[in-house]
Amino acid sequence: MDASRQMLRHTLSTLAYRCAKTLRDAPCAFADFRACEGARTPHEILAHLSDLLDWGLSTAQGTPQWRSSKLLPWQEDTARFFAALQAFDDYLASRLPLRESAEKLFQGPIADALTHVGQLALLRRMAGAPIRGENYFIAEITAGRVSQNQPPPRAEFD
């Protein structure tokens, strides 16, 4: 596997790790928290994240297609997000050709997804349920591990 595909896979695993931490033990009301009028709720952001990953996969396959999905129940949208990560990672792990450059896949859907996971973390704090900071440099993040089941943090901050 070439280095650019491996880096994309590691980035997807980083996205999975960080998003899983943000969603873990979130209060029930978090999904519908709205920071201000016109701002997306965490639930709307999570659905958008899945749409971004679906778009990234279709672009990698050479058939770019955007769709804005309707909200499902929170748990179903959570499962959809991790399934979209898995499908994208599976494609990157395969020998099937990338129909778009790794750089474009990173700068578009993947970088946008990282931004939105940061928004979820900020919204957790604003909703009164902050996540603990962490030294992500030493986190156990491995290419291919893109499920909601992530290892525990190695070094969280007080």
Residue found by looking up tokens 């990338």 in the block: 98
pLDDT at residue 155 above 90?
Answer: yes
Protein fold of 3-138: Four Helix Bundle (Hemerythrin (Met), subunit A) (1.20.120)
- Whether 39 and 119 have beta carbons less than 8 Å apart is answered as no
Confidence of residue 1 (pLDDT cuts 50, 70, 90): confident
pLDDT score, position 88: 98
Q: Is 56 exposed, middle or buried (0-12, 13-18, 19+ CB in 10 A)?
A: buried
- Based on its alpha-carbon atoms, the radius of gyration of the chain, rounded to whole angstroms, reads 15
Rounded to an integer, the average pLDDT of 119-133 is 97
Stated pTM of the model: 0.96
In this predicted structure, the answer to whether residue 153 has a pLDDT above a threshold of 80 is yes
Q: Whole-number mean pLDDT of the chain?
A: 97
